[in-house]
Structure 1
Amino acid sequence: MLKPIYEDDRAFIVDFAYSKSAPVPGFCASDEDSEADSGCEGVAFLEGSKPSKRPSDAMKGGICCCFVNHTRSLILLLSFVVVATLFANTVLLNFAIVSNSQLIPRHFVAVTKQQPSVQPPVASESIRAQRSANASEDGVPVPSDEDIDVNDELVTQKLIEEVTEANKKFEEKAKQDRSEADEDEGHPVPSVEDPIEKALAAITYPTQKPNTRLILLTKATTAPSATVNATISETETTPAPSKPEASDKDLEATELPDSTDKSLRLDSRATIPTITEGSEVAFFERRWLEELQDWAFYAAPGIGILLGHPVGAIFVRSIGCHKAVFAALLLSAASVGVVPFVLGRDQLVVTILRVLQGFAFAPTFAFIGQNAAAWAALKEQLWFIATCIAGIILAPAISWSITNELIASGYVNGAFYGHSVFTFILSAVWIIFYRNTPQTHRWVNGLELNKVHTGKAQNNRLADRNSTSLVFRSMACVAVLLAGFGYFFAFAVITIFLPTYAHTVLHLTPYSTGAFVVTPFLFMAFAHWISYGINKYSNCCGLTTKVRIFNTLALGLTAIGFLGLAISAALHHFDEYSGFNNFIHAVVLLPLGFAINGFFQSAVIVGRYYTQYIVTHLQVIFGLAFVIVPVFVVFWTPLNVLRYWRFVFLGTAAILIIVAITFAVFGRGQPSNWAENSWDPTATHRMLQPIPIGRNAECGIIEMRTIDDHLKSSLSATAEY
């Protein structure tokens, strides 16, 4: 048996007990029976020392044998679920609004499919003669059966309703004209004030009864789903003999103005214009106030993240992750549970709720960094960060899949209630199981604790107060933050707008949209884990070269994917999307998963102990991306049609290329000079002095003495020798 002397940063020497078989948490009993039951060899306290218990020993408990010496794995699993839940609640409404088109902001109203124009039939001489023969008694031509059959295929239900309404108005007007007319045996009596021409016409031609018949001609230029162009006319009170023969021009329908005009909408009460792929709009002549409201709806989580970041970071550092994350879970559960009560009412209220959801997510990156610093072993820090980032990647896929099935089953509000209840339950599990440090967790034994703290010398912790200035003065750290902006910008474009884009632009049904939008996140998560596995076996070059190569591949290939989206939108109409186009949408985020070996690994290497502060500042970058992306999309899409979305894809690709080049130049795989001595990753010896331990001693902490006492005893022992 060996007893290591471990040097802690609080100027104590902590001696841990080792045994060939893994010791059970807590202290073994002094009697032989309990010693045998525990399965650990006895370890005796040195003479003159008393057993001292850790703070968590008051809560004694056991752990499954599968997780002995791996309590941090359970902590990591719980952290993954917490991060995924907080982000799922934040982006839930991005997908849920596609179930009801009335909830989608007006800027992203669904476009109308524009069908090819249908040419009107040519009216030959025989057809005109037939129509003349089919004329009514008053000389007005009546459409033939053939005309009605041709037109009947193109007349929409909306046109029929409009015709009916117009017919009622014409009949009322005709009745009013007849009641006001002063007739004498069917002939009007001219007034002395009438001009001579009118009086002569009244004497020469008999008054014809007003004809209120509606004439529907055969020309139509669009399919039933689009705006139907037709002529609805009312015959005027004119003498029959003077009625000329209908010409070709008279037989053509008079086209109505563009349906985007409010006064000519099919539904006069509607506030959203009908938009087709051929619609045009002046780029800067827009209703900026309404678009500002639509931007705020999508940017609200990002605004909440930026507002809550200072508060969350301070709380995580002052009161610890245990209480700070618990408060965030409660706020997130409450804010998502209230959504069904305000959804569909005032958009401003829903926007405020989304700000609160973003505020609840604000402490996430500060928690990820501090959790990795406290619980991960020195070489496991990237593993902890990668797992928590995977929670953010998989959150939309898991949450939206469940929500899609609930909405398809008719439980729209059940999706919000389910997320809220699950978050409340998770908060209870969190407050019971999680601890800020492994020293205070009742399931962590001395062997695991020693493994977690090996190499963490932390000689310059006094620089904690200047961590922000140190991070932003380092060009390598700035390169990490810029690469993070490109990473989260592309991620935000898909997370925020892919459901709306798929439903309103690609015209997928709500259920098909659910299956369509989760695929990119699944592929991204797959590449994320594969990349971390490759990292352990890719030692063919230096760390600086490796992080630059992986980061360039991740951001560069993702930029190519967005270029593919822009090209496919330009070459193919949205109702002709081929399998290739669907493939591009599915894998557009896949290369982004390789960034875990890029700027994420660079942050771990450059910062060492200060990696937690670099990751904390990534929360600001994350929030900025979720605020800027809605501005970017709303500005470049004055109409929600494909030709404007191409600008969004091209702009995203340009940003990715710029940040990829920046990191390729300034990114590093070596620790900064101010962080180099914070941790010692080369430390492999866990024991400074081997001491034999008797078999009949208790397991646990052997001795705690100050460094001065230890040095004095060592000097005295040396002098005696």
Structure 2
Amino acid sequence: MRPVVRGLAVNGEEDSVDSTPLLQRAQQPEAAPVCCSARYNLALLAFFGFFILYALRVNLSVALMDMVDSNATLTDNSTSQECAEHSAPIKVLHNHTGVTFPAMHAMWSSWAPPLERSKLLSISYAGAQLGTVISLPLSGIICYYMNWNYVFYFFGIAGIVWFIFWMWTVSDTPKAHRTISPTEKEYIFASLQNQLSSQKSVPWISIVKSLPLWAIVAAHFSYNWTFYTLLTLLPTYMKEILRFNVQENGFLSALPYFGCWLCMILAGQAADNLREKWNFSTISVRRIFTLTGMVGPAVFLVAAGFIGCNYSLAVAFLTISTTLGGFCSSGFSINHLDIAPSYASILLGITNTFATVPGMVGPIIAKSLTPDNTIREWQIVFYIAAAINVFGAILFMLFAKGEVQKWALTDHHGHRS
């Protein structure tokens, strides 16, 4: 029998061994088959949904270049002259937050058995990365060979088709699903017993006072600071300092997102295997994957400040940094479901609200720190982003939990609400 891997003790307590009943191996229900299962069909439909969602975001940015006057030129007198020019500047793409992720968290609170949680969520959310990878060059091809109008027709029709399948085949809970097998339904119910709350009101006071929640907030905020630095500031650094814009090449611009997509899928499989086959506790897995997905990008972000005029290394560091960030999909990103499945969507809404701040503040701070656009100034920007990322990872390591909190359960299960 393999030993249980214990994590770090916090505040004098051994909190890393899961006490949630279903995670004790002797009481685990027998898993239902994966093939043709309702829960994995939901994961695939969610995957295509996020694929289309992000494709619709990217195609607008690509088509916009064709919609405006193609002869217009952009001039920027503040561009640094430290390195030789490699290309003209191109508009940087931005992704913005919505209701889909909290809504999907709410779905998975009723559908995802805890020992399959990392796999199912990583499959569904990885669609966002692949949607960026494919739609970025595909939109350019459509604009070049056809017309920018067809970009919206193509992805718009795809969205309508997906919506029809979603409405026809998806149910809020396994109980309401029309075609789920009795074996799978029983497996999901048995896995989630003692995890879900039946109380009508949301325990807002307990939520606000929950230290594990604020550990996720810290990690989410810090991760997004580095993410937005990589998404926005590093391309700007390559344009202003290196005089090279990676988004001129469709393949190179999509490469970091492809790496992140692949990492998310593999990390989800690895995380659940560590828990199920190697007896790693939930909190140990969440800490390992969060640490890898936050400290790794921070290291390469700092390294980006010391590459001089080597734009090939800049592309490599951008790709590696974004790829390593995919580990967080099985770290803090789904920890909401570990500590409070019934309120996971609310918790994600809270953490995501704080996590949008870096997208607004980060570029402003970077601009104020780089008045002359020198490499030395940009090194400071990267140092700050890396330090914030590491700080958030440390807070998560210290205060995160891997089991359902008492306030997220009801008296029916022997806990205080």
TM above 0.5, yes or no, is yes
Aligned with 2:77 (options 228, 251, 274): 274
The reply to whether residue 363 of structure 1 matches residue 99 of structure 2 is yes
Give the AA of the match of 1:580: L
CA displacement 1:525-564 (0-9 Å, x = unmatched)? 2222222222213647544344323322221111001101
**Match of residue 474 from structure 1:** 210
Deviations 1:32-61 (A, max 9, x none): xxxxxxxxxxxxxxxxxxxxxxxxxxxxxx
CA offset digits 1:617-649 (Å, max 9, x no partner): 343244334333443444445467766544443
The question of 1:427 aligning with 2:163 is answered yes
**Counterpart in 1 of 2:23?**
none
Cα contact 2:298–2:389 (8 A) shared by 1? yes
Q: 1:465 aligns with which of 201, 216, 239?
A: 201
CA distance in structure 2 between the aligned counterparts of 1:527 and 1:430, rounded to whole angstroms: 26
Q: Secondary structure in 2 aligned to 1:436?
A: coil
Matched, 1:557 2:296: yes
1:316-335 aligned within 5 A: none
Residue in 1 aligned with 2:27?
A: none
Spell out the pairing of 1:147-296 with structure 2 (5 A cutoff): 272=75, 274-278=77-81
Which residue of the partner structure matches residue 86 of structure 2? Answer: none
The residue type equivalent to 2:107 in the other structure is N
Compute the TM-score of the two structures, normalised by the length of structure 1.
0.45
The separation in 2 between residues aligned to 1:641 and 1:439, in whole angstroms, is: 60
Structure 1 spans left out of the alignment, 5+ residues: 1-21, 23-64, 110-271, 280-296, 306-361, 681-721
Q: Measure how far apart 1:610 and its partner are.
A: 3.4
Q: Which residue of 2 aligns with 1:530?
A: 266
Instruction: Tell which structure's C-alpha radius of gyration is larger.
Output: 1
Instruction: Give the superposition deviation at 1:676.
Output: 5.7
For the residue of structure 1 that corresponds to 2:403, the secondary structure is coil
* Contact 1:404–1:511 (8 Å) recurs in 2: no
The answer to whether the 8 A contact 2:198-2:410 is kept is no
1: CA distance, partners of 2:214 / 2:248 = 41
The letter of the residue matching 1:655 is: I
Equivalent residue for 1:87, pick from 54, 57, 60: 54
TM-superposed deviation, 1:507: 4.7
Distance in structure 1 (CA, Å) of the matches to 2:133 and 2:147: 19
- Where does residue 120 of structure 1 map in the other structure? none
Q: Which residue of 2 aligns with 1:317?
A: none
Gaps of 5+ in 2: 1-32, 83-91
Partner of 1:717: none
Q: Tell me: CA distance 1:432–1:597, structure 2 relative to 1, closer, same or farther (3 Å).
A: closer
Contact 1:483 1:660 in 2 (8 A): yes
Aligned counterparts of 1:638 and 1:97: Cα–Cα separation in 2: 29
**Aligned twin of 1:627:** 360
Matched residue type, 1:399: S
| Shift in Å, 1:524 | 1.7
Aligned-partner Cα distance in 1 for 2:283–2:366: 35
Structure 1 partner of 2:225: 489
In 2 relative to 1, CA 275–395 (structure 1 residues): closer, same or farther, beyond 3 Å?
A: same
Q: Is the 8 A contact 1:455 1:679 kept in 2?
A: no
Give, as a single letter, the amino acid of the residue that structure 1 aligns with 2:160.
F
Q: Which residue of 2 aligns with 1:606?
A: 339
* Residue in 1 that maps onto 2:28: none
2:376, 2:146 → 1: CA distance?
Answer: 35
Residue equivalent to 2:43: 76
Query: Residues 8-40 of structure 1, C-alpha deviation per residue, up to 9 Å, x if partnerless?
Result: xxxxxxxxxxxxxx9xxxxxxxxxxxxxxxxxx
8 A Cα contact 1:487 1:656, kept in partner: yes
Matched, 1:377 2:113: yes
**CA distance in 2: counterparts of 1:91 and 1:634, whole angstroms:** 25
> What code does the residue aligned with 1:75 have?
L
Secondary structure of 1:537's partner?
Answer: helix
Task: Give the letter aligned to residue 584 of structure 1.
Answer: F
In the alignment of these two chains, the number of paired residues is: 370
Partner secondary structure for residue 461 of structure 1: coil
Q: Specify which structure has the higher proportion of helix.
A: 2
Tell whether the 8 Å contact from 2:225 to 2:362 is kept in structure 1 after alignment: yes
Partner of 1:649: 382
Which residue identity lines up with residue 617 of structure 1 in the other structure?
Answer: I
Offset from partner CA, 1:541-597 (integer Å, 9 cap, x none):
5443443233222211110011011122xx22xxx53x4343212212122122234
Query: SS in structure 1 opposite 2:328?
Result: helix
Letter of the 1:582 partner, please give it: V
Q: Does the CA-based 8 Å contact 1:475-1:666 persist in structure 2? A: yes
Q: How big is the shift at 1:503? A: 6.1
CA distance in 2, matches of 1:640, 1:410: 39
Deviations 1:268-291 (A, max 9, x none): xxxx45344249xxxxxxxxxxxx
C-alpha distance after superposition, 1:351-410 (max 9, x if no partner) = xxxxxxxxxxx2212211111022223433333322232123333212213123334446
Provide the residue aligned with 1:353 in structure 2.
none
User: What residue is the counterpart of 1:517 in the other structure?
Assistant: 253
1:523 is aligned with what amino acid?
Answer: G
1:45-100 per-residue CA deviation (whole Å, 9 max, x = no partner) reads xxxxxxxxxxxxxxxxxxxx962xx1222222111111232233234445556679
SS at match of 1:442: coil
- Say if 1:440 and 1:669 are closer, same or farther in 2 by CA, change over 3 A: closer
CA contact (8 A) 1:555 1:592 kept: yes
Query: Where does residue 670 of structure 1 map in the other structure?
Result: 403
Instruction: Please give the residue correspondences for 1:396-407 in structure 2 after superposition, counting only pairs within 5 Å.
Output: 396-407=132-143
Q: CA deviation at 1:451?
A: 1.9
